[in-house]
Structure 1
């Protein structure tokens, strides 16, 4: 893009300071851009190509101090995919561009949402070599989320070097699937120029031709060289250029442009470019560009310069994007924040990580004011208690400020409003926390976090890991607000609730590798219950005499089932003092303790009324302990003479899917012993399917729904009640639970 520019956000003069070392940039000289796309689309490769083109890395693709840009985490190297949000600052034309590379795999959606929070615009990376699958359902959902908040967006088509790549087809697909009701708002700015075909018949892309300027940008030498188009290329532009011009005019603030254009007037290219840039910054027009990595030994990859020009000239500055709403820590609204380096300090932790050398590192977006090293800030917490996170309302001293360069951190003197910076030694601050002036504390409205719905039960591998187990888990969940830690009081299991299998795998590997805690994943158990199927009477007899003081207690009880949710009731109907008054509470204590332990397989007993009707005592040998034991024995005897019913938890489930998947989702839920309650429209071609499903059937539903709906489905679950389990399943479950109880006792 050349020949025009937004007058309200012109970039500052180019400087000699490398972007990674810049600090205190003015807001108008900053662009915060998040890269979005499915796994394998080429986001990280694109970031490296942009870093190479801007000089942030040398020609060998290495960071100046020796680290590789993609060498960010050992887990990522082993899994060959991004699992965390990463910041790569570059500089172009005096503008600092903070590139936020997000994971494309659905399990790490929390990292994606953190990137969206920190950015002012989004680049959607779409592969042209995916056989029509370059735009997945998850990508479309993120596009719609960005549209809902008015975030400016552009599309970058990658993998043009592939023999199967088709830029025009991919651009048309983007217009159809992302443009929605206005496909002319998603149009290409350039078309690829291909060189001579090779022996395999594939003609490689060697350059781009601008639809507005008509200039060819040839990258075949490794540097962009401008030239005039040949006649064949010029003829190819006509239809695409007309459509692009009409799309720009439709978003223009100049209402006379359309009439002038329809009247045959040749519109000035500079005017069209300026209107294009304003439309992009407002989020009304979404250009489609192309990019490919640089060839061996080359510096500029195809399309990198065009993309950098779009970012610096078309994407909004932090001055043009509203900050999140703020309150004081008590929840009282405060005035809206302005992106002013001299304003009150308001910053947000968008990511927390542990570095083996400097300890905890916090990636912080500064929305207002200026953050400086060694100053004291107030940390306001985010209220995720249900996920194992504490509320924070403390003062902390800021450590060193730095900007990342691969695996290295370069110190910066300060971070002004609109910029992103890494902060060391914030021991209490976690992802989502607000940093502000201690004298005027603020709390930003949190961004929406998805609920983790895949349970993973874990336990320490050995005695040596027990001491580090709790501390390691606490540090793990402090880094990742999409993870929830649960100490289940019923099953006595430690459960990590994760977004999916890959998320769980990364979490366990981080526990082992980063925190030195070896853990084992064990089968997750749902909290089952038992109850009586009918009323029954029984006697508990505890009589022992072995010389000296003996034990004597006999009690007769009646047990009857109660409605769901009644718990355990105890009633005393003893007459005539058969059980002395002082021992009646002892019987109740024994009954309740046995009910909590269970009467058959270690599963708690609920929804029964236990009535003490009669008994016997001894003037010398009866005691509190003896009657506790007799009460417990009586309850076990009652269970032996009555059919015990196993109760399983049932959840209310809501599944949000595109209309095309409503039928398959309903069939799948029914196959899980679920009661489908119906479906209702949820807007934009989506429906909400409601059902009640046993928890034992949806332990892995987070993974299975993703497969069923091709990544487009979401669901929520809330405990409803316990219900009787079918007899055959109950018998099998009783057997399994009993075997586990015996194993536990043996240990």
Structure 2
């Protein structure tokens, strides 16, 4: 059986689309292991997972739920991952630490596409995974059609491990395709062993043959047995299934009803016998046996009573409380439990453990291992949705910045941006709910109320024509006065050329020591031009001026330059520029036309589309899109693509905008500046 040491602790992640029933499956697994006295339900808000206020309010997972459990003498850790794509970073990070993933989905062919990004992530990293088709007790279950639809989005062959026994439309049990034994479900109890019904024998034989052929693709000996009509021993099949799963060559498929305890014991059996040991996981991740202890951090949490916790998987050796790691010292070791984490003195190979108060440790870091670096760690997801925010109470700005930094540590797909140009703190994330949860955590965990608004679009302004202008600053107030006098010419530059300052002074009309001050005054003005936005792509030439031997100074010439710019810029035919982004939208090919309509409906320009590299059946649509139209793009895109559409973006160029659209932007900007005083 692949040589794994059963006594070593193992870990599995429950992943899958939103509403597929992962938390219910976790509850059923715990109940079947007798770790909880009764099976809770999401609607009753009494499950072990999703216990946070944010999760309860939305009846959905918004962070990973870690639970440790013993089953038949073996130690397991389950990580129930959020299904919403907005919290997918946590799921991806957890998958980098486990021995296998249980991909939970519904028996609906139309929803199979929702699993595609997850299966792609697993296959790209060769993470062993099996499928659990949940909710088979719902009306109109189409198991075979669902399997075909799922195969269309999976790079690996899906291998059915059992076939259903039906009573009319109801699935009442299953036949195991290796042992060829039939079982009838008994909710809350072990299934009954029954005789294989005659009505299903033909289907069972067809499905079993398909399973054998899939396994024979990776086992020459089994292929010879099949060609010679020799019945392969069951132990050989079990070994092949475990080995092929560990190597991510196949995806075993099971089904059941988590809420009604159907198929859960069968799933437990598969986990126990087929999921590889942590030694195999460590090797897959590039950590060889032997050497210094190694653990990889997959989740950071700032807890109220324990401070910073770095949840990690021990992949080699043993760690102890109070141990020095790098620049820090471990202050507490904790393992997952049913309610709250339990403190332990040490953690060994295979265990999932939280290291307390390692201030410099971050998600993705490797602890120990003589400084080994995990180069394969998934990069943070692209920022897709943003809110500008400020503290409700004056004086809480520093506290807010610290709290946001902690939230971004916990979930690296949050990104904090300080926009000095417009004086805004901007929080980026994966969608509207993702950011709303962050705001709720700011309130509940850090006592911070915030005011939010849409981030200011970084418009710029430039000019269309040249103007010569005179600026003079003269002030007498007793003693030394102030005197600066400049003649400048303001000219437009080609798009993207930036700002150029030239000095054509002759005869010392403006002394050399004051010329840098003239440039400083011009640059200072360009931060906020005639329309209220930063000015770009202009050239300014200092052509003449005059000075006073006593009253002239750097400040006087800087002020004179600002006066000249303020007088001249409105005469230069100022024009508003809006940022245009290069956007790459990724969708299944069935949704390509919808993605194109979204672009054209937002003043975008489609550049073309092609198959997405490495993604079978997906397209990538390239376009230019005004940044002003990007605010809720991800919300619309997901609503039209069953949640799987996404995009990447980068700034490309500035483009003139005129008419009522420009007037509205300028009016809004002037109102905002007036409020700031």
Residue in 2 that maps onto 1:11: 6
| Alignment of 1:698 onto 2:630 | yes
1:275 and 1:467 mapped to 2: Cα distance? 58
- Kindly indicate whether the alpha-carbon contact (under 8 Å) linking 1:539 and 1:634 is maintained by their aligned counterparts in 2: yes
1:355 alignment counterpart: 303
C-alpha spacing 1:229/1:178, structure 2 compared with 1 (3 Å): farther
1:400, distance to aligned residue in structure 2 (A): 1.9
How far residue 536 of structure 1 moved from its aligned partner, in angstroms, is 0.7
Q: 1:718 aligns with which of 635, 650, 664?
A: 650
Aligned-pair distance for 1:651?
2.3
Deviation at 1:50, TM superposition (A): 0.3
Q: Relative to structure 2, which stretch is displaced further, 358-367 or 47-56?
A: 358-367
Distance 2:574 2:187 in 1: 80
Report how far residue 307 of structure 1 moved: 0.4
Q: Give the match's secondary structure for 1:611.
A: strand
Q: Deviation string for 1:57-87 (max 9, x for gaps)?
A: 123659xxxx951253221111110011222
TM-score (norm 1): 0.83
**2:323 and 2:329 in contact (8 A); partners too:** yes
1:314 to 274, 289, 298: 274
1:282 corresponds to:
247
- Correspondence 1:233-312 to 2 at 5 A: 233-252=197-216, 255-258=220-223, 260-261=225-226, 264-293=229-258, 301-312=261-272
Aligned 8 A contact 1:33 1:99 in 2: yes
**SS in structure 2 opposite 1:97?**
strand
Aligned residue among 369, 381, 388 for 2:317: 369
Partner of 1:381: none
Secondary structure of the residue aligned to 2:220 is coil
Aligned with residue 534 of structure 2, among 574, 583, 604:
604
**Tell me, what secondary structure is at the counterpart of 1:163?**
coil
CA change 1:709–1:726 in 2 (3 A) is farther
Of 104, 110, 121 in structure 1, the residue corresponding to residue 89 of structure 2 is 110
Gaps of 5+ in 1: 1-5, 13-25, 198-202, 296-300, 326-335, 379-394
Does the Cα contact within 8 Å between 1:705 and 1:714 map onto a contact in 2?
A: yes
Q: Does residue 417 in structure 1 map to residue 349 in structure 2?
A: yes
CA-CA distance at 1:266 after TM superposition:
4.2
Query: Who is 1:33 aligned against?
Result: 12
- CA change 1:72–1:372 in 2 (3 A) is farther
2:549 aligned with 1:584, yes or no? no
CA distance in 2, matches of 1:357, 1:371: 22
- Give the SS at the match of 2:505: coil
CA contact (8 A) 2:77 2:336 kept: no
Deviation of the 1:10 alpha carbon: 5.8
Q: How many residues align?
A: 670
The equivalent of 2:195 in structure 1 is 229
The alpha-carbon deviation at position 618 of structure 1 amounts to 4.3
Aligned to 1:384: none
**Which segment drifts farther, 44-53 or 361-370?**
361-370
Sort the Cα spacing of 1:59 and 1:689 in 2 relative to 1 into closer, same or farther, 3 A.
Answer: closer
* Pair 249,278 (structure 1): closer, same or farther in 2 beyond 3 Å: farther
When residues 210 and 585 of structure 1 are mapped into structure 2, their CA distance, relative to the original with a 3 A threshold, is closer
For residues 621-663 of structure 1, what are the alpha-carbon distances to aligned partners after superposition, in whole Å with 9 as ceiling and x for unaligned?
A: 4443333222111111111222102222222222233333334
Task: Note closer, same or farther for the CA distance 1:529–1:241 as it changes in structure 2 (3 Å cut).
Answer: same
Deviations 1:648-687 (A, max 9, x none): 2222222233333334333433443334333333242333
Pick aligned residue for 2:486 from 550, 555, 561:
555
Q: Is residue 560 of structure 2 the alignment partner of residue 630 of structure 1?
A: yes
Query: What SS does the aligned partner of 1:408 have?
Result: coil
In 1, Cα distance between the equivalents of 2:422 and 2:501?
25
1:217 aligned onto 2:189: no
Residue 135, structure 1, aligned to residue 112, structure 2: yes
Change (3 A) 1:458 1:533: same
* Residues 83-116 of structure 1 deviation map (CA, whole Å, 9 limit, x = unaligned): 1122222222332222121111000110111121
Equivalent-residue separation in structure 2 for 1:516 and 1:192 (angstroms): 52
Q: How does 1:418-497 map to 2 (within 5 A)?
A: 418-436=350-368, 440-445=370-375, 446-497=377-428
- Asked whether 1:191 is paired with 2:163, we answer yes
1:719-738 to 2 correspondences below 5 Å? 719-738=651-670
Counterparts of 1:529 and 1:698, CA distance in 2:
17
User: Aligned-pair distance for 1:322?
Assistant: 4.7
Q: Per-residue deviation at 1:309? A: 0.7
CA distances 1:15-66 after superposition (whole Å, capped 9, x unpaired): xxxxxxxxxxx3xxx332111211100001000100111122123659xxxx
Q: CA deviation at 1:279?
A: 2.9
CA contact (8 A) 1:212 1:241 kept: no
CA distance in 2, matches of 1:404, 1:97: 10
Cα deviation, 1:407-446, whole Å, max 9, x if unaligned, reads 4112233222232112222222121122115xx3222212
- Confirm whether residue 523 of structure 1 aligns to residue 446 of structure 2: no
Counterpart Cα distance in 2 of 1:83 and 1:221: 29
Q: 1:656 aligns with which of 568, 581, 586?
A: 586
Q: C-alpha offsets along residues 207-239 of structure 1, whole Å, 9 cap, x if unaligned?
A: 333233343333326311433226xx2331322
CA distance in 1, matches of 2:338, 2:39: 14
Q: In the TM superposition, what is the alpha-carbon distance from 1:258 to its structure 2 partner?
A: 4.2
Partner of 1:70: 49
Aligned to 1:3: none
Task: Write the distance in 1 (CA, Å) between the matches of 2:93 and 2:495.
Answer: 42
Matched, 1:337 2:269: no
Superposition map of 1:527-538 within 5 A: 527-538=458-469
